[in-house]
Chains A and B, each alone.
Chain A
Amino acid sequence: MKKKLSEMDYDEKGTVIEIDRDLQKRVAGMGIRVGKKLRMITKQPIKGPVDVIVDEAETSLGLELADRIIVEVD
């Protein structure tokens, strides 16, 4: 099932299938890219950031960024 990264549930895993064009370069350095597996570990209340784990590295993304990444959930 496809959903936005921002809509993933706690501890849900998935594969990145689409990243907004403007965003690709910004998140590339963090190792986030199309085809990567990731796990959502937590998000903060009241439109706070979303934390994901990619290759055992934790990255925290603002909600608007997470809105622009599409994930195929396992």
Chain B
Amino acid sequence: MTLGLEERWTLIDRISKATVTFGKYEHTLKDAIGELTVKPLTGIPVAIAILYGFWSVFGSFAGTLCTDGFFVKLFDGYWLPWIQEAFPGQGDLLYRILVDAGGIDSGEFVLSDNCFEAFGALTSGLFVAIGVVLPAIVIFYLMLALLEDVGYMPRLAVLIDTMLHKIGLHGYAIVPTILSLGCNVPGVAATRILETKKQRFIMMTLLAIFIPCGAQIGIMEKVVPDLLGWILLYLLIGYFIFGYILNKIVPGRAPEFLIDVPPYRRPLLGNIAKKVGGRIRGFFTVALPFVMLGCAIVSVLYLLGVIQFLGDLLAPIFVNWFGVPAETAGPLVAAFLRKDLAVAQLSVIEMTEYQMITAVVLVSIYFPCVATFAMMLKEGWKELLGALAALVVVVFAYGGLIHLIGILLGVA
């Protein structure tokens, strides 16, 4: 037999009266901090400070300390010269795919002098994975785990609900969004905490298009540090513009926010270590193999001239519609498979700052990486097709819009 709602509550009242005594509750410091971090007047400045702190630690630890301070020296100084010597068959096909694509200077094959430009799976591929992406992912997940275990995330969700409500989501959408900044794969999985199909579709589409993952941010931080702020700003604006539009055109309900806000808790070191370890393992076993595969395929396509061909074919679109130089066509095509390396390639092309911003934003909003693609397929092929349709529209509309803004500002 089952009870009605009211009967059940009456029964609970009875049971509670017979078995529970509530003593006087003393408010603790934790409760006070809890309230201060959720009240708008104090909570919003705190949220901004926390996110800013998150960002500065991310940049200085991953970019400056690990990548520049250690891995660049290790890879360019020792690994690259060693493998260039040790690997047999300098200049032939396998060598150029695995070690160094090199360059041709007056008919001679010339070796690259750093791991960014070698474009071999064992040089650039490995360097990007270990030297750039690994530190970025580690520090990102470590800080995120801290915020999660302390219990800050629900409060952030409450504070940001008003804004996300405007795009058909609600405050809780901040969880998949932030997770995606590490890797889009767990981000897409986390869309399940949203109530309706409509909300999950909007969220998944926005994640795939506008949220760059830790690998991409790590690379951008490395090669275009001065422009990173602008790039992220354009992505954020796009997230809200297209979220607003999607909310208007996607049918379905967008229910209201209703969440439990747990008390703050002292994080357990063991749990954090396990969680960070698990996520990093997840990244390297699920996402990274696809990334390496992408790197190899791109190298092959380059050597076969396919990228050059597509680049030449599409160059007029890039030049006229997006306002970027014709040389970017190759990397922009290759970005379908390898976003992070594409950014590195773009960074060495001669162009204005505004063109660089446009090009990198385009790379970011492009096709999701293969691992994310697979994850989205798991959530449903209809959703995936819908997201891809949205993607094509967004690339052209937003790319064109950024170009237009540039023209109006007189910088494009």
Contacts and interface: CB of A to CB of B under 8 A. Distances in A.
B104 interface: no
Contacts of B38: 41-42, 51, 58, 60
Given A49-B171, A62-B165, A65-B256, A44 B158 contact: yes
A15 interface: no
Interface stretch (B86-94, B117-125, B258-266, B375-383): B258-266
22 contacts: A30-B260, A33-B9, A34-B6, A35-B13, A41-B35, A41-B39, A42-B35, A42-B38, A42-B39, A45-B162, A46-B162, A47-B162, A58-B263, A60-B154, A60-B157, A61-B256, A61-B257, A61-B258, A62-B161, A62-B170, A62-B255, A65-B258
Contact of A26 (B170, B258, B262): B258
Interface in A3-45: 24-28, 30, 33-35, 41-42, 44-45
B5 A51 contact: no
Given A47-B162, A62-B161, A57 B35 contact: no
A26 B255 CA distance: 11
Interface residues of B, number: 28
B159 A44 contact: yes
A59 B162 contact: no
| Majority secondary structure of chain A interface residues (helix, strand, loop or mixed) | mixed
A38 to B, nearest CB: 14
A60 B256 contact: no
B406 interface: no
A44 B259 contact: no
B24 to A, nearest CB: 12
B40 interface: yes
Contacts of B260: 30, 57-59
Contact of B261 (A25, A33, A46, A60): A60
Nearest to B16: A55
Most buried by B among A30, A44, A56, A63: A44
Interface string A61-74: 11111000000000
Given A33-B9, A41-B35, A48 B161 contact: yes
Contacts, number: 80
Given A64-B256, A65-B256, A44 B261 contact: no
B257 A45 contact: no
B325 interface: no
A3 to B, nearest CB: 19
Interface of A: 24-28, 30, 33-35, 41-42, 44-49, 51, 56-65
Contacts of B255: 62
A25 B3 CA distance: 13
Nearest to A52: B261
Given A33-B9, A49-B257, A64-B256, A56 B25 contact: yes
A58 B257 contact: no
A25 B25 CA distance: 28
A59 B258 contact: yes
B34 interface: yes
Most buried by B among A62, A64, A65: A62
A60 B162 contact: no
A69 to B, nearest CB: 11
A42 B162 CA distance: 14
Contacts of B162: 44-49
B257 A62 contact: yes
Interface in B278-332: none
A28 B256 contact: no
A32 to B, nearest CB: 9
A47 B164 CA distance: 12
Contacts of A28: 5, 9
A60 B259 contact: yes
Contacts of A24: 5
Given A24-B5, A56-B25, A62-B170, A45 B40 contact: yes
Nearest to A41: B35
Contacts of B261: 51, 58-60
A22 to B, nearest CB: 11
Contacts of A48: 40, 158, 161-162, 165
Contacts of A65: 256-258
A58 B258 contact: no
B16 to A, nearest CB: 10
A26 to B, nearest CB: 6
